[in-house]
Chains A and B, each alone.
Chain A
Amino acid sequence: MPTKTNRSVEAVSIKIENLHKSYGDTKVLHGVSFDVEPGQIFSLMGPSGSGKSVMLRQLIALEKPDEGSVLIDGLDAQDPKTRDAIRTALVFQSGALMNSMTVYDNLALYHREHRSLSERDIKAKIQSVTEALSIEAALKKIPAELSGGMRKRVAVARAIIMEPRLILYDEPTSELDPILAATTSELIATVCKETGATSLVVTHDRQLALGISNRVGLLLSGHLEFIGTPDEMRSSDDERVQEFLNPKLDLENPRFRKKENAL
């Protein structure tokens, strides 16, 4: 777990209150509320389709919630001024790198467009970050030429280079092999430790969430069913929490049959 050392940015707090979101008749979030302390790693776990990624989109103002509020350091996340005031980066599940640009140009994009650094400083920054993430060899390539793991690391690099106060990760270890998933988990913890940025990780990877987070939440069908420390989650006697953490294989009476019978 990250300790408060070597801070380079001022971390922010997150306060989510009574968040509701629907798409047509489908209600995805049912009044979700939680807080994240500055500089902490908070992991939001849950099965696929539970509303985790939708939650992230409300947090970074890509979508408006139907009801409720998201406050980042006390500022409304939907207010365009908040984006100017608080640098926030989102590491997309797919990477979302600009496919028409080289990796170098992808990494330089933020500072070039905001004119926040000179070309020489951008180059130095990219060099230091890419060396740390072992992706120097990819700089001249375009994203389509990269492997899944490499693309994830480039996406993380693009986020770090922005020097954000808040980093959001959307399923950072999905589609990765166990070793690469562990490397990515270590990377997220190291980034949080070394930059001091608050991190919110949306994942269904138990090892990642319980291994590096200060606090974890479990979102099931749009309801936040559990929130606490990783130890509290492990020792929880809530059946749904244990079922999510340690699902038992029942070949005689599989889950999909139970669901079919219930219908």
Chain B
Amino acid sequence: MNPLTKALDGVGACVLLFFQTVRYLPTLPRQWKSLLDQCLFMGYATLPLVVILSFFIGGVLALQFAYATVDIGLKEFIGTIVGLSMVLELAPVMTAVMVSGRIGSAVTAELASMKVYSEVDALRTMNISPERFLVLPRVVALMLVMPMLTIFSMVTGWVGGQVVSQMVDWIDLAPTAYYQSLTSAMTLSDIGKGLLKGQLFAIGIILISCVTGLRASGGPREIGAAVTKAVVVCIIYILVSDYFITHALF
């Protein structure tokens, strides 16, 4: 297969897996334990990373904007810039990148290992659909967890920007001025757009990770290769789809 055929084959496999999984949604209550486990694993384990990274992204953003504008008296707009940048772009994108590295890789590794060691075949021989048993709880869990992670990322990014604006001597912007500037320019629709972006990234990440895991074959080396492939494809998907989603939203 040439690279284009491979890419189209991968997209087709993700779309197919999505519909195969959605078909089993009514059976979700039977898997509430597995769903809860996945939510805990995905949310609880990823939250500290998201918070730390977003805090510093907000801080750096404030520093960069202040450096460029402090001489021309535009430092009051730091709140607007940090607020909108976090909500519309950085929070969904950076959260998605972290989710790819932290959750996507773990999901691919687990499913690839189950595939390589015949556990997936064993499920099929027991007439248990791997799409229902393995994929459905993971897809739903990430759909539930992603908005929360994105919101945490937005808020900690704002706080990071504010702390830097207040603590750095040559910026010295009061918190009230920062938050006033932040809230005046932002609407609920902006937050909605950011969350929607995050959800579209999340569905792609989890489908790519599951497809790559379930298509693994061979031995332990292939498990590692599948993980690397899944993370790389997820990041490419995030950055390429980011442009088109942003274009469609504005």
Cβ–Cβ contact A89 & B117, under 8 A: no
Does chain A have a CB within 8 A of B180? Answer: no
Q: How far is the CA of A23 from the CA of B128 in the complex (A)?
A: 26
Cβ–Cβ contact B127 & A92, under 8 A: no
Least CB distance, B136 to chain A, in whole angstroms: 12
Contact with A along B119-133 (1 / 0, CB 8 A): 101101111100001
Does chain B have a CB within 8 A of A244? Answer: no
Output the nearest chain B residue to A115 by Cβ-Cβ distance: B30
Chain A interface residue bracket vs B = 20 to 34
Q: How far is the CA of A89 from the CA of B127 in the complex (A)?
A: 10
Q: How far is the CA of A231 from the CA of B128 in the complex (A)?
A: 40
Q: How far is the CA of A84 from the CA of B126 in the complex (A)?
A: 10
Interface residue count on the B side (C-beta < 8 Å): 14
Q: How far is the CA of A99 from the CA of B121 in the complex (A)?
A: 14
- Interface positions, chain A 78-102, Cβ under 8 Å from B, are 83-84, 87-90, 92, 94, 96-100
Q: How far is the CA of A62 from the CA of B118 in the complex (A)?
A: 11
Does chain B have a CB within 8 A of A209? Answer: no
Cβ–Cβ contact B128 & A62, under 8 A: no
Cβ–Cβ contact B122 & A90, under 8 A: yes
Cβ–Cβ contact B133 & A62, under 8 A: no
Which of B113, B127, B133 is A83 in contact with, Cβ under 8 Å?
A: B127
Which of A87, A96, A110, A113 is B121 in contact with, Cβ under 8 Å?
A: A96
Q: Which residues of B are found within 8 Å of A90, using beta-carbon distances?
A: 121-122, 125
Output the nearest chain A residue to B31 by Cβ-Cβ distance: A113
Which 8 A-B pairs give the minimum distances between C-beta atoms?
A96-B118, A96-B122, A90-B125, A113-B128, A83-B127, A110-B126, A92-B118, A60-B125
What residues make up the interface of B, taking CB atoms closer than 8 Å to A?
Answer: 110, 113-114, 117-119, 121-122, 124-128, 133
12 chain-A/chain-B pairs, Cβ below 8 angstroms: A84-B127, A87-B127, A92-B118, A92-B122, A94-B118, A96-B117, A96-B119, A97-B119, A97-B122, A99-B113, A99-B117, A110-B126
What residues make up the interface of A, taking CB atoms closer than 8 Å to B?
Answer: 60, 62, 83-84, 87-90, 92, 94, 96-100, 109-110, 113-114, 162
